[in-house]
Structure 1
Amino acid sequence: MQIAGSNGFGHSIEFMSQAYLMNNNRYSEIDIHLQDDIPNQQRPLPIFLKFEDVEYKVKNSNAASNVKKMVSKVGTQVNENQERYKKILKGITGSIGPGEILALMGPSGSGKTTLLKVIGGRLSENVKGNITYNDVAYSSAFKRRIGFVTQEDVLFPQLTVEETLVFSAFLRLPANMSQQQKYDKVEATLKDLGLERCRHTKIGGGFIKGISGGERKRTSIGYEILVDPSLLLLDEPTSGLDSSSANRLLLTLHGLAKAGRTIITTIHQPSSRIFHMFDKLLLISEGYPIYYGKARDSMDYFSSLRFIPEIPMNPAEFLLDLATGQVNDMSIPPDILEYQESTDPSKAVIQQHLQLKYKTLLEPKEKEENHGGIKTAEHLQVAIQAKKEWTLSWMEQFMILCKRTFRARCKDYFDKVRLVQALGVALLLGLLWWKSSTNTEAQLRDQVGLMFYICIFWTSSCIFGAVYVFPFEKVYLVKERKADMYRLSVYYACSTLCDMVAHVFYPTFFMLILYFMAGFKRTVACFFLTLLAVLLIAITSQGAGELFGAAVMSIQRAGMVASLILMLFLLTGGYYVQHIPVFMRWLKYLSFMYYGFRLLLKVQYSGDEMYDCESKGGCRPLQSSPSFDTVNLKGGFKEVWVLFAMALSFRFFAYLCLRRRIDLCNL
């Protein structure tokens, strides 16, 4: 079967696999069948993965502090650099090709998930060893060929199962597939994973009722397998599934592997039926490998070491007992007892014995057969380095992501509580300032106070409505950016424009009620100018909230930072303190509330308008009022351009902060 992909290679997957097999007798013959309904560009590129002597360590702050104390007290020379780190992976070697499923097994904390992340390119710092894909090192060009299913299900709770898969299909499948083909692909995935019954049910989570845990896991897997990745990595895919669902899932993975994909999965304690579906097994104990090879040969290997179960046992249960050093209900080799004072060897002795046997019996054989100078075909090495182009243009991604963003946040946009809040506050203010006027200085001061309160209300509402968006969606954004689903600029544009719906709707609804109750000028021009001023304040506040949220990217700290900045803007807004000391005056020029408040005053009042006509001195122009000491009501509307520039600047810097934060997470 020929491949006529976009990279111009005319070789067949079958030919490439057989060419590799001729040089490597470790792999059994691979039967690869490609789905006819998938375009040639999407047929998976064969991935031959090799990892050799992989080590990974993490910083251990407690160990570092203990070393410093020991050095200061004893005065001995200690290699502090070594003590500061704790090794998680300790020299792991293996290989796997297309058509095979490799299971990573071991007790909790043994390093299975860490190894999976290292292989998937999600951990790069403090990693030693050699990991190659078709004999080429990992690069960013490869990440769109990897599907990674995390143990935690990262799905938008407001979307249904079908919507989740449809949006993924439209974002990730190639543009030359028709909409019907993409829908058919989603339909097939729903059927394969048994999600037809819950297709119209929301994912749910938190206080939102949704699908079951098993259905969430299958949806997460469908999210990845939908785009036929060349290398599929799964972290505990059967957790939360019953035996029947787990078997069905493994059969699906088995079919995906035989279609030419390389699959690696961590699994804790599979049933015996599932265990025999794996082609290869890597058993890890305390970060050390103690078995690597064909899964069906594992029992024979440990039997050759004279570890034999004395009662019928699930092979996976037997292997996990060995990995943890538990040798109950099994016979053990007599030579282990030679250096033991008792007939019950310790767990550490069992683990060390198995580690030594692996080093002497299995590792040299693996390195000789699969790592000993055998090279993958050159065209596969070139293909793995070819960066896949974006499947959709910027505008196409924007349209799809806008629909998804609006669906995911629609409930927040049109929330009954927010509507009642806007209505309630508008009515309360309208009743308190009912038919207010500017006839006297006191009445004018009251109406100016209402103007400032409008600024405060919508500034705080919009800042806190925007500051939590990116911290809340960080986990989704990191996951999808690691898969190169879309450009970050597309996500940011969709997020800020969709959120703007709420930041325009609620202030408009609010002002329609309050404006006429409070007795403001009843002219069409004045009403719309006042509304536009309030909307400009709201949109600028939204940009400021996005900037604060993107800068800290923490739910707890975002609220605290927003509160402090809001207090600063409030005090320098020009109402509480009009005559700010010279050395603090620069602060007001950073406050968009200062410009918004001045703009509202200029829109609503005219400097030549007369007031206080019943006083002893007679009528006076509004400009002479102490309320406008620092505001030139005839000074034009330059505040519009300042607020507009601030709104754009906040968003520009918010995007830069977001890119920096997400790039750091993707390292």
Structure 2
Amino acid sequence: MSPNNDPVAIPMIERNPSDLPGMDSSDPDTLTGEAVLSFHNISYRETVQSGFPFCKKTEEKERLSNVSGIMRPGLNAIMGPEDGRSWLLDVLAARKDPRGLSGDILINGKPQPANFKCTSGYVPQKDVVMHTVTVRENIEFSAALRLPMTVKRDERRRRIDEVLELLHLDEVANVKVISKELRKKTSVAMELVTEHPILFLDDPTTGLDLKTAIDVISVLRKMSMRGQTIIFSINQAQYSIFKSFDSLTLVTSGKVMYHGPAQKALEYFTLAGYKYDCHNNPADFFLDIINGGFSDLLNTEEEADKYTELSERQYQVTEKLANMYAQSSIYREMRTELDPLLGEQRTGWSSALEEITCVTPFWHQLWWIIYRSFKNSLDFLNATVTQKETILMLNLSLLLPPFSPGRAGLLFSLTILQIIISMSACEFFVIDKDRFLHEHTSGYYRVLPYFLGKLLAELVPRRLLPSIIFTVIVVSIAGVKTDVNGFFTMLFTIMMLAYSASSLPLCFKAGESAMGVPTLLVTIYFVFMLVSELCLSEREIFLVSTSHWVRAVHVPETPEFH
């Protein structure tokens, strides 16, 4: 079947090769101009652990098997089941552990630079934008940390305004990133502002309505016409989206079923004997083929009984399509282009690709992290004030008879209050874990300025202000008799207690991606510490020693009662 006679033949996109993004060529590790990415016989094996702790079993799973191809400037789509398309995309983007990879990935016939993850754009499927700041502020953060210091502020603003207009975000530039559509567009804008020659996107249309998805793809098409190499995975594509593709890669079970021009894919499969309904979407037609016709079979009543047969059939279909592609003329044409690119470059994937480079100095990164963290803290101001007001009322109620426990009880309550507040310290880094991993890997900042910035802008103020406020209230209302030296001793002790108590939740959360179990462990320990202080005598020295934070109350008691 000829695409010229087919009513759904896919037209080729016309590009202007002279309209290219400006890049600094003085750095040998910086990609310049148009970039052609080629991959040669790459395979990837993942080490998977399963079972209970201390007795886990380790096995290797093959995610990619002898995959080769070439991605030129334009829209390069990767379609297929999620485990196949996402693995191929992440491996090409150097986002997977290089120890499981074999084969060669080249840029313009040369090995990927050591800082490839920092010189290429990557939009993850899960949105990692900061929801508590505006669209413009998110893009400014990316531009400020990923563009060299030689780029002047006016040039940076020009790029930001251009990207906002390109994505139709200029009217909502000062709106906080709340909706899913706005988050996705902002994620794309944060990568486009850097003007990297290669941009990877993991399912950029997932969760979007058709209109927004078409807008995103049309913007990517415009950028590809300016010389960018756009590589993205996509689950299902409407015809209005599919017709924009330049290159199409169909992958399933780690093997390539088709890799070549998108407008030739329909002819390729119809000539192979697959019947195409002209009213069907070509993208759905291709997915039905590589899935072995599962979309029809899984709706039958014999679904449960034939699961094993379907799995076996899927394997047979995969092998058949992979062999058919390996013997096709499209594959031979692709090999004639790939082999000269490979040449003598047989370096494999080096651990040097783990290098993270930043184009801005330490102080610049620290300032922008503090600025964004402070803006983020302002959004939680109302919730924080409400929480402090509630705790304040509970403490003031202790002054009313018959609940008044006396001054010693108030000091003890103040100590316990600091410990309870400190339990929330874990959220500072756990909530931002995915965002940190993406931004650090992409070269926004190093670990030290991020840690210090979060500490100075969020953790310290949220521990400092409550300590001062509640200490002053207890001293003034409860009538604690102490001099200036005793007051500041009490204040300093409470502050150190708050910071010390915050360290335990941070330690528990350091290696966890979820907050449930570590929060429970911290709560149990704090309760046990409180009980050991109230109910045990000094003779149980071991148990009493576990309540060292609660026993900090004896320090402020000293200037009051002794």
TM-score bracket for this pair, using the shorter chain length:
0.7 to 0.9
Instruction: Give the corresponding residue for 1:355.
Output: 322
Equivalent in 444, 453, 469 of residue 494 of structure 1: 453
Is structure 2 residue 24 aligned with structure 1 residue 50?
no
**Residue 524 (structure 1) shift:** 4.0
Instruction: Give the corresponding residue for 2:84.
Output: 111
Instruction: Give the corresponding residue for 1:155.
Output: 129
**Residue 258 (structure 1) shift:** 3.7
Which structure has the greater CA radius of gyration? 1
**Residue 229 (structure 1) shift:** 2.1
Q: Which has the higher contact order (CA 8 A, sep 6+)?
A: 2
Distance in 2 of aligned mates of 1:29 and 1:191: 21
Equivalent in 520, 524, 544 of residue 504 of structure 2: 544
Is the 2:167–2:185 Cα contact (8 Å) retained in structure 1? yes
**Residue 113 (structure 1) shift:** 0.8
Q: Is the alpha carbon distance of 1:304 and 1:119 closer, same or farther for their aligned partners in structure 2, counting shifts above 3 Å? A: same
Equivalent in 402, 421, 446 of residue 390 of structure 2: 421
**Residue 350 (structure 1) shift:** 5.0
Instruction: Give the corresponding residue for 1:91.
Output: 66
**Residue 31 (structure 1) shift:** 1.3
1:183-206 deviations in whole A, cap 9, x for unaligned?
222221111111223222222xxx
**Residue 349 (structure 1) shift:** 5.5
Distance in 1 of aligned mates of 2:379 and 2:295: 56
Instruction: Give unpaired runs (5+ residues) of structure 1.
Output: 1-27, 66-79, 204-209, 330-345, 378-383, 437-442, 607-667
Q: Is the alpha carbon distance of 1:548 and 1:351 closer, same or farther for their aligned partners in structure 2, counting shifts above 3 Å? A: closer
Is the 1:426–1:511 Cα contact (8 Å) retained in structure 2? no
Is the 1:44–1:261 Cα contact (8 Å) retained in structure 2? no
Q: Is the alpha carbon distance of 1:136 and 1:41 closer, same or farther for their aligned partners in structure 2, counting shifts above 3 Å? A: closer
Instruction: Give the corresponding residue for 2:495.
Output: 535
Amino acid in the other structure paired with 1:221? V
Is the 1:433–1:517 Cα contact (8 Å) retained in structure 2? no
**Residue 282 (structure 1) shift:** 0.8
Distance in 2 of aligned mates of 1:237 and 1:537: 46
CA RMSD, aligned part only?
3.6
Is the 2:18–2:226 Cα contact (8 Å) retained in structure 1? yes
Equivalent in 113, 118, 122 of residue 144 of structure 1: 118
Instruction: Give the corresponding residue for 2:378.
Output: 410
Is the 1:290–1:358 Cα contact (8 Å) retained in structure 2? yes
- Mapping 1:165-564, distance limit 5 Å: 165-203=139-177, 210-211=178-179, 213-326=180-293, 350-361=317-328, 362-372=330-340, 374-375=342-343, 390-414=358-382, 415-431=384-400, 446-462=406-422, 464-498=423-457, 499-521=459-481, 523-564=483-524
Number of aligned residue pairs: 518
Q: Is the alpha carbon distance of 1:234 and 1:583 closer, same or farther for their aligned partners in structure 2, counting shifts above 3 Å? A: closer
Distance in 2 of aligned mates of 1:544 and 1:481: 25
Q: Is the alpha carbon distance of 1:129 and 1:419 closer, same or farther for their aligned partners in structure 2, counting shifts above 3 Å? A: same
**Residue 546 (structure 1) shift:** 2.3
Distance in 1 of aligned mates of 2:375 and 2:420: 25
Instruction: Give the corresponding residue for 1:9.
Output: none
Is structure 2 residue 76 aligned with structure 1 residue 102?
yes
Q: Is the alpha carbon distance of 1:600 and 1:552 closer, same or farther for their aligned partners in structure 2, counting shifts above 3 Å? A: farther
Distance in 2 of aligned mates of 1:491 and 1:130: 35
Distance in 1 of aligned mates of 2:539 and 2:163: 65
**Residue 389 (structure 1) shift:** 5.2
Instruction: Give unpaired runs (5+ residues) of structure 2.
Output: 1-13, 297-312, 346-351
Aligned residues with identical type, % of pairs: 22
Is the 2:356–2:443 Cα contact (8 Å) retained in structure 1? no
1:207-233 deviations in whole A, cap 9, x for unaligned?
xxx22x222211111122221223211
**Residue 352 (structure 1) shift:** 3.9
**Residue 530 (structure 1) shift:** 2.3
Give the secondary-structure state (helix, strand or coil) at the position aligned to 1:177: coil
Distance in 1 of aligned mates of 2:438 and 2:386: 31
Is the 1:161–1:200 Cα contact (8 Å) retained in structure 2? yes
* TM-score of the two chains, using structure 1 as the length reference: 0.69
Amino acid in the other structure paired with 1:266? S
Give the secondary-structure state (helix, strand or coil) at the position aligned to 2:257: strand
Range moving further from structure 2, 187-196 or 356-365: 356-365
Is the 2:418–2:497 Cα contact (8 Å) retained in structure 1? yes
1:295-350 deviations in whole A, cap 9, x for unaligned?
12222222332334243433223222222233999xxxxxxxxxxxxxxxx76665
Instruction: Give the corresponding residue for 2:304.
Output: none
Distance in 1 of aligned mates of 2:517 and 2:353: 41
**Residue 593 (structure 1) shift:** 3.7
**Residue 492 (structure 1) shift:** 1.0
